Every structure is written in C-alpha cells, then in structure tokens.
A and B are shown apart, each in its own frame.
Chain A
Amino acid sequence: MSSILTHRLFWPVVMLLVLFAINLVAFPGFFVIEVKDGHLFGSLVDIVRNGAPTLIIAVGMTLVIATRGIDLSVGAICAISGAVACSILLGSPNPGSVGTVVTAVVVAVVISLVLGVWNGFLVAVFGVQPIIATLILMTAGRGVAMLITEGQILTVNSPPFKVIGSGFLFGIPVAVLIAALIFTAAAVLTRRTALGMLIESVGINPEASRQAGVRSRGLLFTVYTFSALCAAIAGLVLTSNQTAADANNTGLFIELDAILAVVIGGTSLAGGRYSLAGTLVGALVIQTLVTTVYTVGIPPIATMVFKAAVVTAVCLLQSPTTNAVIASWRKPIAARFRKATV
C-alpha cells in the first residue's frame, strides 16, 4: 500500500482517473469506443490521437531534460518540418503520389535533424546554456518557416500525406501508432542499452561522468538531435491533421505542453533520473484536460484558469514537501500498527 502511495506516478495517475471520471459524468458516452467505417471511434481515441504530437515531442524532451537541458525549439521545428513537407508537396506535379509524400517527409525530417545537430552543437561544443541555445531556434525557427511558406497557409491535397495525421491502420489512428513506435523505440534504446544510465549520469553529475569516461558531448548531440527528430515527426502529424502548413500556429506553445508532460511525469527539471512512462501519463493528463474543457463546457474565458488549477494540483501533490507532510500523517498510524503486531 505504502509503496503504491509513494510511487512517483501515483498522483499523476490519480489525476488522470479523476479527469476521466469528470468526463464520464458530463458525457456518459465518454468511454464508448465503436467501430465506424472500419476504424475506432470515440472520445478516448480522440484523446490519444490528439495527444500523440505532444507525447512524441515529450519523449524527446524527457531525454533532453534528463541531461539537465531543455529544448525550447521543438515548436518551431514542428512548423519548419510541416512547412518544408507542404511546400514540397505543393511544388510537385503529383502531390498525391506516395513517392512524393515519402520525399517530402524525408526532406522535412532531414532538415529538422540538421537543426537538432545545431542545437547539440551549441550546447555540447560551445557550452551555451540549453535554454539560451534553443531559444535562438525557437524564435528564428518560426521566421524560417514563414520564409518557406511565404507567410501563407499552405493547404495541400494529398491523400497519402493526410494518412499520417488523420489516417487509420488496422482501425487504429496512424498518429497513435507513430507515437507508440517512437515511445517504444526510445524506451528500448535507452533502457535495453546503457544509453539511459549514461544520460542520467551526465544529468546528475556532468564532471563525475566525464572523469568516468562518459562521452557526454556525444550524448548531448544525440539527445538534441533525437528531440528534433521527434519534433519533426510531431510537426508532420500536426500538419497532416490540419492538411495545411501554418507557420504561425503549428506547434505553437507545444514545447511548454511537452515540458509540462515531462514534469507531471515526475522527471525533475534539474536532470537525472527520468521516467518515460511518467511522460506518457503526463501527456495523457494534458490532452484529457483539453477534452474535459470541451465536454464539461467550461467557458473559454475560464479555460486557462481551469487548466492552471489542475496542473498546480498535480505539481503540488508531487512535491517532496507535500509528500513529507503526507508521510508524517501516515507515520503515527503505521507506528501504532507496528506496535500492535509486534
């Protein structure tokens, strides 16, 4: 019992369940998942599908944060990735062909990887503080996206491209499959190899890690590049979902949602131990929160306050101080119990 209570995912999971319960009361069909036109259809499906881009970015963000860093540029990279893909599709005589779409996706991802390497370069080689290094691309990146789209919203009509964000495979949204793939890949790559432990080590004590022979520079390059890759993919999902590249709005503030998901998931911004499972729960909490606003019918003016209240609650419940207080309430009871059994 106490091990469940002290588990770092306890409160985020409780919050998720509470949000589910609120939705169920407001909308009894909330948990209903039916098959419509050969694919899954229901509120829960929407939550995981709409939450997919945030989750994808949050996975990359988790690893960056574990190294004591932060990546603010992911939203801008989303916009660039979408803008590149859409401009290639629009420039092609045959935007509907799978080949064109594959080209567009590959080019968008490669350009984003270059941007990730740039971030890694600033942080790992020049030792620029991550928040500053990625701030550069966060602001300049939108400008780059604007140049690519020439300030217009680029609408594309390409059925294969649309599949990425709105399509279904075996009845499951493709966006969810992509997110699951990235999540699993990140988990396997970091936990089945030594990458995860080394990332944590660099995040906890960079100098000790260096003296132990850990190649922290290479690790930093890797996590920032991976984060950019995640952002590129999330940008493609977002762009495909709205069938248009919108340099101004695609991925706007998604870096903050991703950071929040990581923090709700129990990974400290001070770096070190991270939890991808926590990030998953965090991303789901954030997306469910959005849906709750709609189903409960919270007036748009009060939406921000509502979200802030929930997030504050989660963060307070997770704080070490709160947990210490809760532990001190429990202790007398446990002590009495112990005496009784001895």
Chain B
Amino acid sequence: MTAQNPVVSMTDISISFPGVKALDGVDFRLFPGEVHSLMGENGAGKSTLIKALTGVYSVDSGRMTLAGADVAFSGPADALRAGISTVYQEVNLLPNLTVAENILLGREPRRFGGIDWRAMRKRAKELLTGLHLDVDPGSLLGDHSLAVQQLVAIGRAIDVEAKVVILDEPTSSLDADEVAELFRVIRDLKSSGVAILFVSHFLDQVYEISDRLTVLRNGKLVGEYRPEELLRIDLVQKMIGKDIAVLDDLERRTHSAQSGGDLDGERPIVSAIGLGRKGAIEPLDLDVYEGEVVGIAGLLGSGRTELARILSGVDRPDAGELRVDGVSRRFRTPRAALSARIAYSSENRRAEGIVDELSIRDNIALALQADKGWFRRIPKKRQDELAASYISALNIRPANPDALVRNLSGGNQQKVLLARWLAVAPRLLILDEPTRGIDVGAKAEIQKLVANLAENGMSVVFISAELEEVLRLSNRIAIMRDRRLVADIDNDDLSVDSLLAVIADGSVTSGATS
C-alpha cells in the first residue's frame, strides 16, 4: 500500500489561535484504500488538523497536496468539490429539514429548473438502504435519535464521489450494532479505493478498523504507526505523554470507595417515588444516598437522560413525587433544583451546556452567579480564583481564563462545564455522558474526579453508554429499558456481560451475578 502515492499529504502544518498553538509543524499522509486513525487527547490538534485539511481554517504555514497537486481550500465546500467529505464530531445537519434534504443539501437533483423531489427521495432512500437504515427520507431529521442523525450524516458524506472521507468521532453516540453497521460501510468504501480518516476515542474500534495510526500530542506529531506493531498501552502512553499511573491510581481509589460504601440505615438525600412523565419515563422509584455514585445504564432512548432531566428540574414530572432530605419538592425550573443543590450536566454539551461566546471564567462562574442573583456580582478577584483553581484542578487547556470556550476542544469544554457545576458545590451532581467524545487521558481525569467527589461526600448520578465506565465508578447501578427502571442493583461483582443481560432481557435474575 505504501508503494502507492498518498492521496493526501500534509507537510509541516502550523496553525495558531489567540492564546493557543493548535498545530505545530505536523506531517500527515493518507493513502487510497486505507483507514487511517488520527489519535490524541482532546486539544492534541485532531480536529484542527481535519479543519485545516478541509479548508475551515487557513494554515499559517506548511504545504498540502491532494493527489499530488498543491491545494489550499477556501472552505469545506471547496474541499468537498475536490473530493474530501467530512462527518464532524457534533452532527452538523439541519434538524428542521427532512432526512432526504439533509443528505442531498446543496446538490439536489434538478428537473425543469426546480428541485426534483421524487428523485431526491429515491436517491436518499437508496443511500439509507445501503446503510441498512430504515428511515423515511421524508421525515424530519430532528425527530430521529442522535445515532440515526449520525448515520444520516455519514450517508451525506458518502453520497458525493469522495476520494477522502473524514469521520470525526462517528461512533460516539452509536450502540454496538450500529457501530458494526458503520464498519461494514467503512470497509465497503475502503475496498472501492476511498481513503478514510477515522477519529475515535474507542481504542477497540480503532484497532479493529485501522490500517495505520497517527498520534498527535499538544499540537505536535508524535509518530505514525501500524496498529499491529503498537501495543495499546504504548499507544495510550504516546497519546497522554506520561505513564499510565493515573489509571491504576483510579482503580485503587474507586475500589476503596466501594468497600467503604456501607449505606444501610441512612436516609437518602434524594428519592423518587413513582416519579414519571408521559412519553419520557414510566413511574419509577429511585434513592440516592450521600457519597454514593449511582450509575444509570441503558441503551439510547431507554429513558436514562429523561430521568436525569426530571430529577434536575429541566423537565417537569407529571406523576409521583421527588423528595429531597425526606421533604417533597416540586422543581419547576433547573434553578429551583440548583437552589436545592442538585446540578445537572447535560449530555448535549454544545446546545445545552457551554455558552460558547463567553470566556472560560464566565462559563465557570455562570451557575454560581445565577444563584447569587443579578446584583450580587461575584467579585472579579473571586472569579479569577475560581477559574484558576478549576483550570489547574481539571487541567483545562488553554490555561487562560479569558479564552473563549468556543475555541476549546470538546474535552476541555466538558471540563469547563464540570467546573461550573462543581463551583455551586452540589450535593447531588447528575452527569449525563460526561466522557462522550473525550480521549483516554481526559476520561481518566474525569472518572478520577467523580470518584474523588463521592469520597468527599457528594452524591453522583452517572450516566454513560460505556458500561465499563459505569461499572468502574458506581456503587449501585440502575438499569433502564424502554423507559422503565428494570433493575436497581448493588455493584458487587457485576460484569459488563451481566449488565448487558439485564439491558437485553430486562430481568435481574437472568445473570446479575455471572
């Protein structure tokens, strides 16, 4: 394969933003018919490299060639015309348009000067069928789950006669079957000679699909490797640039926390009694004790996020009651929940989490300030202390409190969001997919943080699609299935397999102790 000429070659690429050197003299090459994974922590420069390649950012210095010819794209549309098609980490489609319109936006089939709607649906249907996706092309995109939206985005990307397809975190919201589907599609593309640039934080997936890896760290190139020649542990070390002690440390800590978690006889700080909301979750009971991490496991759409939104006042329940310290409470707004010191960190970081045009400092202070009211402004000095302490504690990069959150990588945005909730010193912190789209290093840091917080008496409800993570962190695991709470079990010797069994069958007895 290396005998061929690379379809894409980037040499000595540098890009800087105010306060951040995003790429520093990076080389990258991509051959036809290969899957090439780009690896690195958040902020390593993966997204920046992709945006440089697709013309979103103009490079400060360096040289790019496509099929041997020098190129400098003026934007994604330009890159697309040259045959480079991209599916971004966050779905960049238009929820108000139909699936077919999204797939064919900008290249609609024409007829008599107008759009040929019939041909458009037909073409979209073919593409969706090729992806084994049973979706009505005429339905609104926004009505579908994130996973379906992601596959639609991929459908859009492969519809063009692409030489290069870039998949930036395409699997972060997909379940195992959907990932298998995607990989089948990727292999089809590969065999037809398309070069695929793949980015994922799931090492298993990377090893399964990749022909080659390029590792970046802090905007610099670490090296290019073949997966069969690189042990996973070595890959992780190259990515985070330090030894793996953090993870070991975490293992030890969580286990000690679990062994000390004897909660009998205590009163729960939050309990849901028959709590439900039509169309979201069926009435359910759930208790959360002090210093406890309650994991919520379940598939996408099982009601895990809906439960979190009701607990935190984002949505209102229409059945049952919610007790805080044994007192019945009705949270009409998230503000009311926050004043009872229940904080919720949304799974939808960009739409419901960060305020991207504000600085890191303002984002961290936001919830605390909202709680204090309009006129009791947190003094500048206190804000600076707050920002500085969380930037160092959570290792937020860039370590500049004035940097706009917009310019941060996904993982650092997530850390800023966490800092915001920690700043209000919640008694119960509900984390919905806090590690989605985040690299190994940051993931470990956040997991360690959660364990630490629980150790210090904070209660955490931890929602994640990654069962290993839920298992590692939780004292107790609540399992959701089809909007019902089907199991609420202590995390003693539970395994991924036993969890999967419950998720699949909806019954605790069928192997909870396997």
Contacts and interface: CB of A to CB of B under 8 A. Distances in A.
Interface of A: 192-195, 197-198, 200-201, 204-205, 207-215, 219, 272-273, 328, 331, 335
A205 B335 CA distance: 16
Contact of A201 (B358, B371, B376): B358
B358 A211 contact: no
Given A211-B314, A212-B366, A213-B370, 8 more contacts: A194-B375, A197-B358, A197-B365, A200-B355, A208-B355, A211-B312, A211-B346, A213-B334
B286 to A, nearest CB: 21
Contacts of A212: 334, 338, 366-367, 370, 420
A299 B365 CA distance: 55
Contact of B371 (A193, A209, A213, A331): A213
B362 A197 contact: yes
Contact of A200 (B358, B373, B374, B378): B358
Interface in B357-388: 357-358, 362, 365-367, 369-378
B371 A211 contact: no
A210 B334 contact: yes
A192 B334 contact: no
Contacts of A335: 60-61
B362 A208 contact: no
A192 B354 CA distance: 23
B375 A207 contact: no
Given A210-B334, A211-B314, A194 B374 contact: yes
Nearest to A202: B355
Interface string B297-341: 000000000000000101000000000000000000111001100
Contacts of A194: 369, 372-378
Contacts of A213: 333-335, 338-339, 367, 370-371
A272 B352 contact: no
A62 to B, nearest CB: 16
Contacts of A219: 374
Contacts of A272: 357
A45 to B, nearest CB: 36
Contact of B369 (A198, A208, A273, A328): A198
A201 B375 contact: no
B76 interface: no
B31 interface: no
Give the residue among B314, B334, B374 with the most A Cβ atoms within 10 A: B374
Give the residue among A198, A213, A219 with the most B Cβ atoms within 10 A: A213
B355 A211 contact: no
Contacts of B339: 213
B353 interface: yes
A211 B366 CA distance: 10
Contacts of B378: 194
A197 B359 CA distance: 10
Contacts of B369: 194, 197-198
B504 to A, nearest CB: 32
Contact of A209 (B61, B366, B373, B375): B366
B90 to A, nearest CB: 14
